[in-house]
Amino acid sequence: MRIVRSMIGLSGIALLAGCSVGPKYTRPSVTTSAAYKENPPQSFEQAGIWKPAHPSDQELRGKWWETFGDPELNALEEQVTVSNQSLKEAEARFRQARALVGFNRASEFPTIAVGPSASYVKDSNNTPAFPTTVSRNGAGDFVLPVDLSYEVDLWGRVRRTVAASREETQATAADLATASLSLHAELAIDYFELRSADAQEKILDNTVKAYTDAYQLTETRFEGGASPRSDVAQAKTQLEDAQVQDTDVTVERAAYEHAIAVLMGKPPAEFSLAPAPLDLRPPVIPVSVPSELLERRPDIAAAERRVAEANEQIGIARAAYYPTLGLNAAAGFESTQIANLLSGPNALWAVGPQLVETLFDGGRRRATSRAAWANFDALTANYRQTTLTGFQEVEDNLAALRILDREANQQRDATSSAADWLEVSTNRYTGGVDNYLQVIIAQTTDLTNQRNEVDILRRRMDASVLLIKALGGGWNVTELPAQASLR
């Protein structure tokens, strides 16, 4: 027992003296600017497009889609949260990564196994040097062993393996947040595209009705001798063309309705949305400084956590150059009779350390170390590229909102002017002043401007969703599970 206590004591000292080899992790540096290029000037802030974010802002936290103020959109987004299959897959990947932390942590503790056995062996009478006159030439053997094996983590291999699995779990949690943000944003965009199609269909329905009236007017004038047959043909062609456009827009609407159903985890045949033209305005979106984007985008957080994981892999590869210290122990009972198996004289035990050092491996460890460093460099570059992409997406959508706001004002004026021109042209044709070609041109211009106005609104809504997505949707790196909680 003194020997056992001595071995345990030596192992404890070795464990306490253990160190981690390999580089200490430092988050890679990234280039950030003090403000976005599209940082909102005072005029745009007053216009209600976006505003600088302040600590008290709550607009982009939690259920960011509620900022659009559409109850039906809110209900659809809630179903994505609970029923989307891609989101369920990402959540399962997170649980899988979390379970692997426990698997790797098991190496921090001894492995204890028990393997009781019973056997009866009869030796051959013709065994060399065995007396043939002995009738009982067999023996029973009962064994109740307990084996213990433990690797002393001298160089931090086990600790770094556990740390790497925790960092991968954090990265997977960020992947889950990224998937959730992307899927909710995709549904919001599909929803606004569908409502835009509803608005286009309403315009075209009204247009078909107006063109039908115009066609009837040309027929009446032709029958009265006030207009040539060519006016009737032109009016009929214009009406039929509008009917084609009216029918065609329903194809696009059906595709978006099907996409929304799948995002909610439903077969398209089991879902439908009643028509309702798009009648919303983009919300005011708080915009933070670029440096805060590193803490607010889950994809950036995932990339950074995988850099940290790669740093642990370098340490693990480095630890392979050093000897491995293991502690092995065995204890139990052995007897030829089961009745007295657990008696003192039948006890057995063995304990001892084992030090293993690889002397030659043909360059395997060196190659592993180089591969670990290359992986670290690749993931560092990916992290920096992910941040640059994040900055670009914010700038793109800030610019889109700024430009589209001005374009929307211009388009409203153009739509109003086109409506006035159509009214004048129709009155002049009715009064016999102009031919029907002028009405056709005015009708085409009016329809184009009405549809452009709806399309610009759709693009503004999409840009709002994409800006919220680019800003992280209210997510924050503090929402990652703490390493200490991952066991």
Residues 120-148: pLDDT tens digits? 666 666 555 545 555 455 566 788 888 88
Q: Distance between CA atoms of 124 and 352, rounded to whole angstroms?
A: 37
pLDDT band at 12 (very low <50, low <70, confident <90, very high): low
458: CB partners within 8 A, 6+ apart? 192, 193, 196, 278
127 assigned to some structural domain: no
Mean residue pLDDT of the chain comes to 88
- Mean pLDDT for 335-349 is 81
Judge contact between 155 and 357, C-beta under 8 A. Answer: no
128 assigned to some structural domain: no
133 assigned to some structural domain: no
- Dihedral sign of CA atoms 437, 438, 439, 445 in order: positive
135: CB partners within 8 A, 6+ apart? none
CATH number reported for the structural domain that contains residue 290 in this entry: 1.20.1600.10
Q: What is the reported pLDDT for 130?
A: 47
Flag the least confident range among 158-162, 222-226, 311-315. Answer: 222-226
269 assigned to some structural domain: yes
Residues 352-402: pLDDT tens digits? 898 899 999 999 999 999 999 999 999 999 999 999 999 999 999 999 999
Q: Distance between CA atoms of 308 and 435, rounded to whole angstroms?
A: 75
Flag the least confident range among 63-67, 75-79, 93-97, 287-291. Answer: 287-291
Q: Distance between CA atoms of 460 and 280, rounded to whole angstroms?
A: 10
Residues 276-300: pLDDT tens digits? 999 999 998 888 889 999 999 999 9
pLDDT of 41 over the 50 cut: yes
Q: What is the reported pLDDT for 129?
A: 53
* pTM for the model: 0.86
Q: Which of 388, 406, 418, 421 is nearest to 459 (CA)?
A: 406
pLDDT band at 50 (very low <50, low <70, confident <90, very high): low
18 assigned to some structural domain: yes
115 assigned to some structural domain: yes
More confident call, 331 vs 179: 179
Residues 404-428: pLDDT tens digits? 999 999 999 999 999 999 999 999 9
H or E element at residue 227: none
> b/e for 116-152, b at 16 or more Cβ within 10 A?
eeeeeeeeeeeeeeeeeeeeeeeeeebbbbebeebbb
Within a 10 A sphere around the Cβ of 486, how many other Cβ atoms?
Answer: 21
Judge contact between 94 and 179, C-beta under 8 A. Answer: no
265 assigned to some structural domain: yes
172: CB partners within 8 A, 6+ apart? 93, 94, 96, 97, 98, 302
pLDDT band at 16 (very low <50, low <70, confident <90, very high): very low
Q: Distance between CA atoms of 258 and 193, rounded to whole angstroms?
A: 12
CA angle (203, 401, 449) in 5-degree steps? 25
Domain range enclosing 115: 2-120+138-485
Report the number of distinct structural domains present in the chain: 1
